[in-house]
Copies of this chain bind each other. A is one copy, B any other.
Amino acid sequence: MSSASRTVVIVGGVAGGMSTATRLRRLDETARIIVVERSGHVSFANCGLPYHVGGVIEARSALLLQTPASLGARFELDVRVRTEAVAIDPAAHRVTLRDLASGVEEEVTYDALVLSPGARPVRPPIPGIERALTLRDIEDTDVLVAAVAAAQGVEARGFDDESPEPATAVVIGGGFIGVELTENLVHRGMQVALVEATPQVMAPLDPEMVAPVHRALRAAGVDLHLGRSVTAIGVEDVTLDDGTVLPAALVVAAIGVRPDTTLAQAAGLRVGDRGGIAVDEHFRTSAPDVYAVGDAVEKVDGLSHEQALVPLANTANLQGRRVADVIAGDGGTDRPVLGTAIVGVLGLQVAATGWNEKRLRAAGRAHRAIHTHPASHATYYPGAATMALKLLVDPETDAILGAQGVGREGVDKRIDVIATAMTAGLRARDLAALELAYAPQFGSAKDPVNMLGHIDDNLHSGLSACIQWHELDAALASEAALIDVRTASEFAKGSIEGALNIPVDELRDRLDEVPAGPVVVHCAVGLRGHVAARILRQRGWEDVRNLSGGYTTWRAGTS
């Protein structure tokens, strides 16, 4: 087959698929490139959909980044919307395309076939689930926008004063999309209940990290039901497993997504244990000349090197570009995934990369956790906001295993820097020496990322030891004394039961009050605790641990 005549068929015309098509054209002017897309649109901004539902992105057209016509003009792509790839015959190198409007089918012989079919929202088998809407494409968005309008119309009916009861919505699932939808329905003026089966929203973060997110949701009037599942969806309500009945003019299911492997499986392509299409590092499926990328495929986890599902746009776009390189013969290798992700919710930035502690613990992987509560920028410059950061480190190798952050500002930057450090193989203590851009509006002379490195350095060298919020009870039960080194007025506003208050600045004069034996010290966030721990260690206390993240993290974890 000569390159001049090769036909490449791409299934799925959004992030992965269209990135493949455009890059391939830049590499190969003469290939016949057909992109088929089941929905009515290509190259749309999936990640913007919730914000159009909320009216934050006002114009629907803003979501449509390209059209079949624009892609035809610029890239000579044969883009067919409302067209589904319904069957593949790998041996014959043939794919069957069905025009969904007419039902007409066409068989196309390909030299290469790229699958980027994405993922589908999970629809749990709950009675009444038919009524629950999901959000994946433009059509879903149109339905949801109409449903919001209808719900608001219906609920407002019968009221003629200026403050009708707000329309009710129940969002099932507290993942990224569920939380985004919740915010956007609130933004539309709806009364929203969010139901999440686990005890916390935002599974990529550990429980003590999401406390501010729970607070923000509640403060915005969201009726949060954690650790609860939906048992039935009625015509105008939703019933939970604790018997609660929530009024629900609108029900949205956002319980997660599953790789769309229908077509691949029907064609006998190998699907991995995690449920995604199995590909090698050059995106090759088990069938010759059939490639797959994006949400539909299994990736390689950057830490365990095991298969993983990471349905995110950065990786989908990159894989799309790289599979084009493979097809054009220019190399193109996949890279492992960290799962770096962020969501904006009610003014908070919530971000994570790598593994969280729950996962490390479940995998039995040794780790140490570092909690801090730094300011987004120098506190003496107006507008600084406190964030919570968490770093997870391999205690043996000092490798960075993961990081999480929550705050109003500057979280995105710190997570990106840490993700970069992880990719590059920097050790945790190397973060101390990063030369980050500092002026008072943007950071601190010791940036929060540097500070994580300093703290890690102390733990790694054994200069300091720390204890986690969830280990405190056991330590206190086994005779450790707890010293709260905050000021008396901070102590008075709330303290940990059993703590003895000796402000750090008085510690040297009051050493006789500190019991012999193991000691746990804590302050508000960990900094003064570190100073106090160093004093005690040098003054003869051998077993001194500083409560990681101080009272702030402890409260977030235990409340």
A contact residues vs B (CB 8 Å cutoff): 15, 25-30, 45, 47-48, 51, 56-57, 62-63, 65, 70, 73-76, 176, 312-318, 321, 330, 335, 337-344, 349, 351, 353, 378, 380-382, 412-413, 415-417, 419-421, 423-426, 430, 432-443, 445-447, 450, 454, 461, 463, 504-505, 508, 530-531, 534-535, 538-539
Contact = CB atoms under 8 A, between A and B. Distances in A.
Contact of A417 (B26, B74, B417): B417
B317 A445 contact: yes
Nearest to A506: B73
A538 B437 contact: no
Nearest to A415: B437
A316 to B, nearest CB: 7
Nearest to A504: B74
Nearest to A315: B435
Contact of A26 (B313, B434, B531): B531
Contact of A445 (B313, B421, B539): B313
A554 B115 CA distance: 40
The 4 closest A-B pairs by CB, nearest first: A424-B424, A342-B437, A29-B538, A313-B445
Contact of A435 (B176, B337, B446): B337
A556 to B, nearest CB: 21
Nearest to A454: B321
Given A504-B74, A534-B26, A343 B435 contact: no
Given A416-B416, A420-B434, A435-B315, A380 B62 contact: yes
A313 B435 CA distance: 10
A532 to B, nearest CB: 10
A57 B381 contact: yes
Given A318-B450, A420-B421, A425-B424, A381 B436 contact: no
B47 A433 contact: no
A381 B51 contact: yes
Interface centre among A47, A312, A330 (most CB of B within 10 A): A47
Contacts of A531: 26, 74-75
A314 B438 contact: yes
Contacts of A341: 437-439
A437 B353 contact: yes
A436 B314 contact: yes
Contact of A442 (B27, B342, B425): B342
10 contacts: A15-B445, A63-B380, A65-B380, A70-B505, A314-B435, A337-B435, A341-B437, A416-B416, A421-B424, A424-B425
Contacts of A176: 439
Contacts of A312: 438
